[in-house]
Amino acid sequence: MPPAAAPDAIAESLLAFWAEAGVDAMLLDEPVDRIAAGRIAPPKPVERKTSAAAPGPRRAAQPDVSAAVALARELAAGADSLEALAAAIAAFDGCPLKFEGASQAVVWRGDPHAPLLVIGEAPGADEDHQGQPFVGRAGQMLDRMLAAAGLSERVLITNTVFWRPPGNRTPTPAEQAVCAPFVERAIALAQPKMLLLVGGASAKALLKTEEGILTLRGRWRDWRSADGAVALPALPTLHPAFLLRQPAAKKQAWTDLLTLTERLDRPERPS
Dump pLDDT digits (tens) for 82-93: 999 999 999 999
Q: What mean pLDDT do residues 179-188 have?
A: 98
Higher pLDDT, residue 177 or 4: 177
Confidence of residue 241 (pLDDT cuts 50, 70, 90): very high
Domain assignment present for 216:
yes
Query: pTM value?
Result: 0.76
Domain assignment present for 208:
yes
The mean pLDDT of the chain is 88
Reported as type and span, the H/E element at residue 130 is helix 125-130
CA angle 232/234/235 to nearest 5° reads 160
Q: Are 199 and 159 in contact (CB under 8 A)?
A: no
Q: Which residue range(s) make up the domain with 135?
A: 66-264
State the burial class of residue 20 (Cβ atoms within 10 Å of its Cβ: 0-12, 13-18, 19+).
exposed
Domain assignment present for 162:
yes
Q: What mean pLDDT do residues 119-134 have?
A: 98
Amino acid at 262: E
- Into how many domains does the chain fold? 1
CATH number at residue 155: 3.40.470.10
Domain assignment present for 107:
yes
In this predicted structure, the answer to whether residue 150 has a pLDDT above a threshold of 90 is yes
In this predicted structure, the answer to whether residue 5 has a pLDDT above a threshold of 60 is no
pLDDT at 39: 64
